[in-house]
Amino acid sequence: MRQAILCVDDEPIVLDSLRTQLKGHFGPRFTYEIAENADDAWEVIDELVADGVDILLIVSDWLMPGIKGDEFLITVHRRHPRIITFMLTGQAHDDAIRNAREHAALRACIHKPWREEELIAMIQTAVEDAP
């Protein structure tokens, strides 16, 4: 079964960087999808699920228009509890991170600007731990 990693952020440059770094490390092992907001992310999620693609992991920004990343990831976890969740942020409040940890099984919070080695190491560990 094909597996996907979805990155959600309202900054296109961040999405491009994430996809480039992930693809550079993991290569063709995964499908890499991006979305600039939660509504677009839900469209991508629905399409992937309909196509029989297993969404392994989502990396979501916290501060996005319309909905905060913790709220988005909580909804993702309720609908798709097997998806591993990461939050990427430059300014998340401790309460938001705690909320995501408690209600979205948040795997990790990655702070912007991130170091590529740190990002890859966290995702590599999550991928290895996935059932």
pLDDT tens digits, 78-104: 999 999 999 998 887 899 999 999 999
What is the pTM (predicted TM-score) of this model?
0.96
Residue 46's closest CA among 56, 37, 55, 57? 55
Structural domains of the chain, count: 1
- Vertex 10, ends 65 and 40: CA angle to 5°? 80
Cis peptide preceding 28, ω within 30 of 0: no
Range of the domain at 111: 3-129
| Domain at 54, CATH number | 3.40.50.2300
pLDDT tens digits, 29-83: 999 999 999 999 999 999 999 999 999 999 999 999 999 999 999 999 999 999 9
